[in-house]
Amino acid sequence: MATTTSTPRVPDAPPGPEGLKQGLSRGPDRAFKMLAGGSSAVVVALVVIVGVYLISKAWPSLAANGASFLTSREWSVADPDALRFGIAPLLWVTVISSVVAMAIAVPVAIGVALYLTHYAPPRVAKPFAYLVDLLAAVPSIVFGLWGARVLMPYVQPFQDALKSAFGWFPLFAPTAVQAGTIFLASIVLAIMILPIITALSREVFRQTPVGHMEAALALGATRWEMIRTAVLPFGRPGVVSAAMLGLGRALGETIAVTIILSTTTGAFSWSLFFGGETFASKIANAASEFDSPSKTGAYIAAGLVLFLLTFAVNAIARVIIDRRKGFTE
Amino acid sequence: MSATSLTPSLAAADPGDASPGDELRTLNGGGSGSRRVKDRIATVVMHLAFLVAVIPLVWILWTVVSQGYHMLLESTWWTNSQRGVTVRDFGGGAYHAMAGTVMQAAVTALISVPLGVFTAIYLVEYGRGRLARAVSFMVDILTGIPSIVAALTVYALWISTFGFSRVGFAVSLSLVLLMVPTIVRSTEEMLKLVPNELREASYALGVPKWKTIVKIVLPTAFSGIITGVLLGLARVMGETAPLLILGPYTKSINMDLFNGNMASLPTMINQDRTEFLDAAVQRTWGAALTLILIVMALNIAGRAIGHFSKVKS
């Protein structure tokens, strides 16, 4: 995790007596500083380029759009003179799949992090913590492949059971989609974001002040009571921000979702057992057919909304981390 | 797990010198029956959570290894391309894809590492006040960019604006957007760990600031920086989204980053993912295993370097 604690600054090398100063060439010093400053300027420029190019390419298409961008469910971008596109279904599928993934992953991640920090003997905890970290490195296309080819048949009966038991509830309503449902995508996304949420939660749980834990135990608390009264309250902001970072990952995840989700035509459904496309998978599915500027612009507009969405989520995570720093250090 | 219940009073007797982890671990308060039951339930739940997490992760690895390993045993896998191999044919190699992935990643690192390391140097050694905060904020924004958005940006710039074609270098450019922030952050962390006494000692000897950074600060943080670079590299190598948009697949070997389509392992997996013919399925898992092996090797190397030579703070 990137914390932004500022180290105590060393003052610049003090200016020596005039005679000494002459001996030291200030030229290289200045050049080096320019190099460091220049690199930073390039990084800033990169962000500006991302913003400017996305907006400038999306703008003409947005202006020519015949449908409401935010609320329409249409997506016809083939004819540059009759652009009609809206992101409503993309927004829904992106958000609901990521939120369900987070709802599945966060409790499990907290359990794993607590297990690794407070339950498992160190001999077990270390290699398993390492294993979880390594699994964060499995490429997302492998998760997608596994989800679509291996996991799908195991999830289907579970899905059918949910459908028949809770079918009256809009989220669980039966649909014609059989294989690549939002539900399956959420499960795979949950598995994908589990390692990062676990790693960050583990880090904050480990930092719980020993004094708090000992105080709880000294008052006769059981291990669970100690965790509930000392570890969890201390770690809550960290866990919340870890969950937000996981959510940010899930929102932007492309290839796993693209592989799993069945694209749908016809009537829209709010059900988790429906297919559809997220922002990222919509763009990825169209990757080979960016042939006209107006068409590309429509997809870039969708990408822009995704960018804003992940930015907002990440910003919330950062605010929570920074606020926590205020009273623990 | 045998929970040897020490009485709470014993724990309270000397709270000071108990080493945090091990001592606390064995302490299990007494208390009434329902509290004890709750404690037991919590213990079971934690173990279950761990199992629930480990099962899919091990399952994925098992699937990829068991389905893909025999492809990797053929020597042609490492030396041949897929040129002339149709979906129905068994065999062929992944050399073209491995070469593409490694070259694109190498160019990405070549651009990202100096940029990232110098930005980190600016933030830690020079930057102050509002300007440094602005740079730091920009790095945060870059950190959160979804890979598909990075790819769209490069598409808008490289193809829509400049009119170039989809080549390996465009892929590298989009990966730079993803790699720079991870390198800035990891290098920043490492530079902050370098004790100030070292810098002060250097200044006291009259060494100029830039030489102090090059000869004292960077060497001290070197292994940590390398770890960050390897982990960042492992991350971008597994990216698929930018490749879908900027790096179309080809079955032939292409070593030219500026001309023609260039294969890579993720696009090779993507190519046959909808096929259910045995030959194609095998190839897909073989490519997946190869990609995982490369990424894991980088990861393990990075962590090992970080583990064996830590900055002494």
**Which band of pLDDT confidence, cut at 50, 70 and 90, is reported for residue A325?**
low
pLDDT in tens, A153-165: 999 888 888 888 8
Mean pLDDT, chain A, integer: 85
Query: Over 70: is that where the pLDDT of A236 sits?
Result: yes
Query: Over 70: is that where the pLDDT of A112 sits?
Result: yes
Whether residue B264 contacts residue B291, with contact meaning beta carbons closer than 8 Å, is answered with no
Among residues B161, B159, B160, which one has the least CA distance to residue B169?
A: B159
- B32 φ/ψ sector (left φ>0, alpha ψ -120 to 50, else beta): beta
Domain of residue A51, residue span: 41-326
Residues 181-200 of B with CB under 8 A from A: 184-185, 188-189, 192, 196, 199-200
pLDDT at residue B181, as a whole number:
94
pLDDT at residue A17, as a whole number:
47
Location of structure tokens 């961008």: A69
pLDDT at residue B129, as a whole number:
82
Task: List the single range of A96-105, A228-237, B23-32, B115-124 with lowest mean pLDDT.
Answer: B23-32
Measured between CB atoms, does B216 come within 8 Å of chain A? no
**Which band of pLDDT confidence, cut at 50, 70 and 90, is reported for residue B6?**
very low
Torsion, Cα of B66, B68, B74, B78 (10° steps): -140
pLDDT at residue A324, as a whole number:
65
Query: Over 70: is that where the pLDDT of A100 sits?
Result: yes
- Quick check: is A180 in a domain? yes
**Which band of pLDDT confidence, cut at 50, 70 and 90, is reported for residue B313?**
very low
Measured between CB atoms, does B44 come within 8 Å of chain A? no
Task: List the single range of A31-45, A229-243, B297-311 with lowest mean pLDDT.
Answer: B297-311
Query: Over 90: is that where the pLDDT of A250 sits?
Result: yes
Among residues A68, A62, A71, which one has the least CA distance to residue A268?
A: A71
Neighbours of A91 (CB within 10 A): 18
Fold of B72-83+90-309: MetI-like fold (1.10.3720)
pLDDT at residue B20, as a whole number:
45
Cβ contact, residue pair A139, B266, below 8 Å: yes
- Quick check: is A176 in a domain? yes
Q: What average pLDDT does this structure show over A184-196?
A: 93
Question: What is the C-alpha to C-alpha distance for residues A29 and A284, in angstroms, rounded to an integer?
Answer: 47
Angle at the Cα of A281 from the Cα atoms of A277 and A286, rounded to 5 degrees: 105
Q: What average pLDDT does this structure show over B103-109?
A: 95
**Which band of pLDDT confidence, cut at 50, 70 and 90, is reported for residue B309?**
low
pLDDT at residue A93, as a whole number:
93
Q: What is the CA radius of gyration of chain A?
A: 25
pLDDT at residue B3, as a whole number:
41
Distance from CA of B93 to the nearest CA of A (A): 19
Measured between CB atoms, does B13 come within 8 Å of chain A? no
**Which band of pLDDT confidence, cut at 50, 70 and 90, is reported for residue A21?**
very low
Measured between CB atoms, does A300 come within 8 Å of chain B? yes
End-to-end CA distance of chain B: 36
- Quick check: is A311 in a domain? yes
Query: Quick one: what percent of chain A has pLDDT higher than 70?
Result: 90
At A264 the three-state DSSP class reads coil
Q: At what angle do helices B33-73 and A182-206 cross, to 10 degrees?
A: 120
pLDDT at residue A225, as a whole number:
92
Which residues have a Cβ under 8 Å from the Cβ of A173 and sit 6 or more positions away? Answer: A163, A167, A269, A270, A271, A273
Residue A105 corresponds to which amino acid?
A: A
Tell me which of A101 and B281 has the higher pLDDT: A101
pLDDT at residue A95, as a whole number:
94
Domain count, chain A: 1
pLDDT in tens, B45-104: 999 999 998 898 889 999 999 998 988 888 888 888 888 787 777 878 889 999 999 999
Measured between CB atoms, does A283 come within 8 Å of chain B? yes
Question: What is the C-alpha to C-alpha distance for residues A257 and B171, in angstroms, rounded to an integer?
Answer: 21
Beta bridge partners of A75: A85
Chosen for mutation from A3, A33, A53, A141 (greatest number of chain B CBs closer than 10 Å) is A141
Cβ contact, residue pair B118, A142, below 8 Å: no
- Quick check: is A315 in a domain? yes
Beta bridge partners of A85: A75
Distance from CA of A67 to the nearest CA of B (A): 23
At A85 the three-state DSSP class reads strand
Query: Over 80: is that where the pLDDT of A278 sits?
Result: yes
Measured between CB atoms, does B11 come within 8 Å of chain A? yes
Query: Quick one: what percent of chain B has pLDDT higher than 90?
Result: 43
pLDDT at residue B62, as a whole number:
93
Q: At what angle do helices A27-64 and B168-193 cross, to 10 degrees?
A: 130
Q: B147 contacts in A (CB within 8 Å)? A: 252, 254
Per-residue b or e along A173-194, where b marks 16 or more CB atoms closer than 10 Å to that residue's CB: bebebeebbbbbbbbbbbbbbb
Query: Over 50: is that where the pLDDT of A19 sits?
Result: no
pLDDT at residue A24, as a whole number:
53
pLDDT at residue B260, as a whole number:
86
Question: What is the C-alpha to C-alpha distance for residues A74 and A264, in angstroms, rounded to an integer?
Answer: 13
**CATH number for position A265:** 1.10.3720.10
- Quick check: is A220 in a domain? yes
- Quick check: is A28 in a domain? no
Q: B136 contacts in A (CB within 8 Å)? A: 4
Distance from CA of A157 to the nearest CA of B (A): 18
Query: Over 80: is that where the pLDDT of A252 sits?
Result: yes
pLDDT at residue B31, as a whole number:
52
Question: What is the C-alpha to C-alpha distance for residues B174 and B150, in angstroms, rounded to an integer?
Answer: 5
Whether residue A324 contacts residue A238, with contact meaning beta carbons closer than 8 Å, is answered with yes
Q: B49 contacts in A (CB within 8 Å)? A: 107-108, 110-112, 114-115
- Whether ipTM > 0.85 holds is no
Out of A115, A283, A304, name the one closest to residue B47 (CB).
A115
Tell me which of A43 and A76 has the higher pLDDT: A43
